[in-house]
Structure 1
Amino acid sequence: MRIFRYRDHSRTYLGALTEDGTAYRLEEPDLMTLVGNARKAGSSTAEYVGGLLPSRPLLESPPETLDLATPLEAPEVWAAGVTYQRSREARNYEATAGRQDADTFYDKVYDAERPELFMKSTAARTVGPGEFVCIRSDSSWQVPEAELGLVLDRSGAIVGYTAGNDMSCRDIEGENPLYLPQAKIWKRSCAIGPFVRLAETVKDPYALAIACRIYRGGEKVVDETANTGQLKRRLEELVGFLKRDNELYDGTVLLTGTCLVPPNQFTLASGDRIEIEIEGIGTLINTAIYTHELDAALIEG
């Protein structure tokens, strides 16, 4: 069972997509309301939604053809780093200008008990499928990062999974680790969607195929694949550190790090089409554009 949101004229609706590809419009305002109602009814969210569907209207168009929004308005998006070996190697490359001759703080984080966690975005900064993500104007080495996102309630329970794009400036972070917020947070530097797959319908979150494809002028220039089985840390471990002495809000999203890093010589260009696909969740598609081009692009759109 997958949950999504879509815009129709001036309204935003919640929808549900079943395993057989049938889509329904729901009356509830958001995902976390569904989760809360299901708990009050003493059932899982998937069972609760399944019981609602016979009385809910069918959608005639496939969800991918609708004007999709972020599947939920995440009050905060957090992210984890150095959770895969490939990410460790890439960030060492940034920090050492390609010299792999000594351990760095990334090596220490990879092996440490405490993971790297950082604030990535807020609801106002996060975009959904089909929307523009922005290329930072003062960076010359930017990449998307394809990540499995955990949708959490305020207790830290995982209620669903989504796909995320953690846009990153490799040159800014590599120059100085204290620049991490600037390398990670700017206008439209985070995208999530297109669906949230309910957690109870995922048999094994450590067996999900992930792909990142980038097209430039219609030509595929990046095509990387990986699997969540390569994740160094357990998902509950990441959540446990996130909620330690911290307040979580219903609908918080935690991106769990990337194993898909484009080649070191690659940087995003305006007009690049980014596709992030996670097995059983869907394909998050965004177009990259420079921040100074955004206003004109939105008017044209």
Structure 2
Amino acid sequence: MRILRYEREKGTYTLAALANDERIYDLPYPDFMDMIYASEQSGKTPLHYVQDLIAGQGPIEETLEQLQLAVPITAPEVWASGVTYEKSKDARNYEATAGKLDADTFYDKVYEAERPEIFFKSTAARTVGPGQPVYLRSDSDWQIPEPELGLVLSKSGKVLGYTAGNDMSCRDIEGENPLYLPQAKVWKHSCAIGPVILLADAVDDPYSFDLACRIYRAEEKIVDGSANTKQLKRRFDELVEFLARDNDLFDGTVLLTGTCIVPPNDFTLKDGDRIEIEISSIGVLNNPVKKQESKIAAAR
């Protein structure tokens, strides 16, 4: 069972359940966590609670493609994990060593270390949903999407659901100096999540998700990559445990779990590109790419 959020009237949002047969059923909640709280009060799992809510209820007339989808959850914080796949380690090494792949770096140490790399990625105001543009950073010349499985968490660290995420990244800024990581990762519209949340109790094995990333330029596919969460070096509970150490988690926090799909080293996103991130059983997160004017240049 998947949960989506859409704009029913201008400025008014509602949740809906997307069943396996692709039919959509309205839910009486504006926010994902409201539904979770109600399921807890009922003593039912979220999956069983939603199934009971829609039992005997007719689906809405619209299809998924006809709805104005919004971010499925207004996550108060989005965090991200790095170097959780070997492919990611190799890409970071390439950036940091100017292509000298035989040189060991701190990324090799992080990949093998007990402590994972976890960094702050986004706030609700910086995060966009399906169909909304992700922005290019104006002071970077080497930018890529990072398709990742996202964990939707409660304040106790429980995984409530899974979603698709795009951790936009500036490879040149991070490669220049690892201390520049926040600038390589965090800016306006640098994070996208969606299109839905797959309820955790509807998932048998979270280490069997297929991921794909397709990038289109003038509607011609120029990048096409795939991976599977079974390739992860770390476990999800391990990442969540480190995120929660001496830290307050908020209900609805999203933790992106790292990428295993990296475009060719000579590729960079351009204004007008379109990114599709697809995760099996979740769906396709589709975002156009937009160049934003430098605020420094605009102020001159």
Please give the range of the TM-score, normalised by the shorter of the 2 chains.
Answer: over 0.9
Taking the aligned partners of 1:178 and 1:85, their CA distance within structure 2 comes to 22
| 1:299 corresponds to | none
Q: Is the 8 A contact 1:14 1:26 kept in 2?
A: yes
**Equivalent position SS for 1:203:** coil
How far is 1:55 from its partner?
5.7
- Equivalents in 2 of 1:220, 1:95: separation in Å? 28
Alignment of 1:60-99 (within 5 A): 60-99=61-100
CA deviations 1:221-279 (Å, max 9, x no partner) are: 00000000000000000000000000000000000000000000000000001000000
Shift of 1:59: 1.4
Alignment RMSD: 1.3
**Residue 155 in structure 1 maps to residue 161 in structure 2:** no
d(CA) in 1 for partners of 2:6, 2:108: 42
- C-alpha separation between the residues in 1 aligned to 2:86 and 2:127? 27
Amino acid in structure 1 at the alignment position of 2:2:
R
Letter in 2 for 1:87: S
CA contact (8 A) 1:273 1:285 kept: yes
Per-residue deviation at 1:56?
4.7
Conserved 8 A contact 1:172-1:179: yes
Instruction: Report matched runs for 1:106-121 at 5 Å.
Output: 106-121=107-122
The secondary structure found in structure 2 opposite 1:292 is coil
Q: Deviations over 1:165-210 (max 9, x none)?
A: 0000000000000000000000100000000000011111101100
Q: Are residues 1:208 and 2:217 paired? A: no
When the two structures are superposed, what TM-score results if normalisation uses the length of structure 2?
0.96
Does 2:18 align with 1:5?
no
CA contact (8 A) 1:187 1:291 kept: no
Alpha-carbon distance in structure 1 between the residues aligned to 2:65 and 2:251: 26
Matches within 5 A, 1:29-178: 29-54=30-55, 56=57, 58-178=59-179
Q: Which residue of 2 aligns with 1:298?
A: none
One-letter amino acid matched to 1:234: R
Distance 1:65 1:291 in 2: 28
On the 8 A contact 1:80/1:255 being kept in 2, the answer is: yes
Alignment-derived partner of residue 217 in structure 1: 218
Q: Calculate percent identity across the aligned residue pairs.
A: 62
- Aligned positions of 1:238-249 closer than 5 A: 238-249=239-250
Q: Distance in 2 between matches of 1:41 and 1:98?
A: 56
Which runs of 5 or more structure 1 residues have no equivalent in the other structure?
294-301
Q: Structure 1 length as normaliser, TM-score?
A: 0.96
In structure 1, distance between residues paired with 2:56 and 2:20: 18
Q: Is the 8 A contact 1:26 1:56 kept in 2?
A: no
What CA distance in whole angstroms lies between the structure 2 residues aligned with 1:261 and 1:65?
31
One-letter amino acid of the structure 1 residue matched with residue 4 of structure 2: F
One-letter amino acid of the structure 1 residue matched with residue 218 of structure 2: G
Cα displacement (A) at 1:21? 1.4
Q: Secondary structure at the match of 2:207?
A: coil
Q: Count the aligned residue pairs.
A: 294
Specify the code of the residue in structure 1 equivalent to 2:200. A
Instruction: Give the AA of the match of 1:8.
Output: R
CA deviation map 1:62-119 (0-9, x unaligned): 1232110000000000000000000000000000000123210000000000000000
The separation in 2 between residues aligned to 1:77 and 1:280, in whole angstroms, is 22
Aligned partners of 1:50 and 1:183: how far apart in 2?
A: 42
